[in-house]
């Protein structure tokens, strides 16, 4: 498909508690704000909310199916979650081409998920490659560079790290596709992926980001964490059957706002960085853990 500035694709999705539960099982992120109605009732939300990476995966579904279309390769994605997404409401997913970069063989698209009343649930921007390769993009601590920090609060401390290891199976890939509808052939068709220069189908960004979701929501900061922002920079493909190591590390603590910044990255078995970025989370509800 030839892309033009201003092109827009729109889709819709209604999430159920079963969707939240399935994504929790797939990602390992059983943070109670997503799966425990009793716990969630005591939080600022009052009920369970959608995983940030579940929302991101619906954006990926639109990118891969509609615009730019099958075979889309994301170089980078920024995400903000201004309002929570609950069950039972029809959400509108929209992607729009805002810039074409012919010299880079790339395009920049705005990405958005909105409530039926127009409030934004998820917004951001993605850079996609139009020639299949991943560029050498170096991360910057954009979210934390101007934030005052303290050494510790709420049991958290600067430099604190959590690590997870995961091997994604063909079954995990199939469940991701069934749950999200993201049928990008780079994830589902080995022959297509190999023709594109890859050695196999690759792991979707939503599953890799799900490793951060698991760590943030269950390990560091832990249960009750509310994800506000995430930047994902994709540097190398990741493949099913490989042992992936995910890390999150506290880089800023802002006690007055109960905010925590964490650097995030995934590595392949050779120790090469697959993706990197930064998360911003709110830890207001951590004390509700029993």
Q: Judge whether residue 78 has pLDDT over 80.
A: yes
Give mean pLDDT, residues 21-32.
Answer: 96
d(CA 207, CA 26): 8
pLDDT of residue 130: 79
- Sequence-distant (≥ 6) Cβ neighbours of residue 269 within 8 angstroms: 242, 243
State the chain's mean pLDDT as an integer.
92
Q: What is the mean pLDDT of residues 32-43?
A: 95
- Dump pLDDT digits (tens) for 169-185: 999 999 999 999 999 99
> Tokens 């992607």 belong to which residue?
95
DSSP 8-state class, residue 287: G
pLDDT range class, residue 58, cuts 50, 70, 90: very high
**31, 52, 30, 29: which is closest to 43 by C-alpha?**
31
- When mean pLDDT is compared across 33-47, 54-68, 132-146, 221-235, the lowest value belongs to 132-146
Q: Where are the alpha helices (DSSP H) in 129-287?
A: 170-180, 185-188, 190-195, 205-218
- % of the chain with per-residue pLDDT over 70: 92
Q: Please give the structure tokens belonging to residue 194.
A: 């190999």
- The mean pLDDT value for 263-267 works out to 98
Predicted pLDDT of residue 289 = 46
Q: Quick one: average pLDDT of 51-70?
A: 95
Mean pLDDT computed over 274-288: 89
* CB distance 236 to 201 below 8 Å: no
Per DSSP, 215 falls in state: H
Angle 56-189-245 from CA coordinates, rounded to 5°? 55
Indicate whether 146 pLDDT > 70. Answer: no
At residue 290, the pLDDT reads 43
Counting Cα atoms < 13 Å in the Cβ hemisphere of 185 gives 13
> Quick one: pLDDT at residue 152?
85
CA atoms of 39 and 42, how far apart (whole Å): 6
pTM above 0.85, yes or no: yes
Sheet containing 8-14: order of strands: 8-14, 90-101, 106-114, 120-129, 73-80, 226-234, 273-282, 259-267, 243-254, 161-167
pLDDT of residue 2: 80
CB 54 within 8 A of CB 19: yes
Instruction: Give the tens place of pLDDT for each residue, 88-144.
Output: 999 999 999 999 988 778 999 999 999 999 999 999 999 998 765 555 555 555 555
Cα–Cα distance, 265 to 249 (Å, whole number): 9
Instruction: Write phi, then psi, for 92 (nearest 5 degrees).
Output: -105, 125
Query: Domains of the chain by range and CATH?
Result: 8-288 (3.10.129.10)
H/E stretch holding 61: helix 52-65
Q: Quick check: helix, strand or coil at residue 70?
A: coil
195's CB contacts (< 8 A; 6+ apart) are none
Task: Report residue 49 as tokens.
Answer: 């909310």
The pair of structure tokens assigned to 4 is 């033009």
Query: What is the DSSP code string of 92-132?
Result: EEEEEEEEEEGGGTEEEEEEEEE-TTS-EEEEEEEEEESSS
What's the CA gap between 54 and 230, in Å, rounded? Answer: 13
């Amino acid at each position: 498909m030839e892309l033009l500035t201003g092109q827009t694709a729109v889709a819709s999705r209604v999430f159920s508690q079963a969707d939240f539960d399935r994504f929790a099982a797939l990602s390992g992120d059983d943070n109670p704000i997503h799966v425990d109605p009793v716990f969630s009732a005591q939080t600022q939300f009052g009920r369970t909310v959608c995983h940030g990476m579940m929302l991101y995966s619906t954006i990926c579904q639109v990118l891969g199916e509609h615009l730019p279309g099958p075979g889309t390769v994301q170089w980078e994605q920024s995400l903000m979650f201004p309002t929570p997404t609950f069950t039972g409401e029809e959400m509108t997913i929209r992607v729009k081409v805002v810039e074409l970069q012919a010299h880079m063989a790339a395009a920049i698209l705005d990405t958005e998920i909105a409530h039926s009343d127009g409030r934004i649930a998820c917004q951001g921007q993605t850079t996609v490659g139009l020639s299949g390769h991943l560029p050498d993009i170096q991360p910057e601590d954009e979210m934390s560079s101007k934030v005052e920090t303290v050494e510790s609060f709420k049991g958290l401390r600067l430099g604190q790290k959590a690590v997870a290891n995961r091997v994604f199976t063909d079954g995990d890939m199939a469940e991701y596709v069934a749950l999200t509808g993201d049928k990008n052939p780079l994830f589902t068709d080995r022959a297509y992926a190999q023709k594109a220069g890859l050695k196999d189908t690759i792991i979707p960004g939503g599953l890799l980001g799900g490793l951060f979701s698991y760590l943030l929501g269950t390990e560091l900061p832990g249960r009750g964490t509310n994800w506000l922002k995430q930047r994902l920079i994709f540097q190398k493909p990741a493949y099913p059957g490989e042992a992936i190591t995910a890390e999150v590390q506290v880089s800023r603590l802002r006690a007055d706002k109960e905010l925590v910044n964490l650097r995030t990255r995934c590595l392949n078995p050779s120790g090469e960085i697959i993706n990197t970025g930064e998360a911003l989370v709110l830890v207001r509800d951590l004390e509700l853990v029993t």
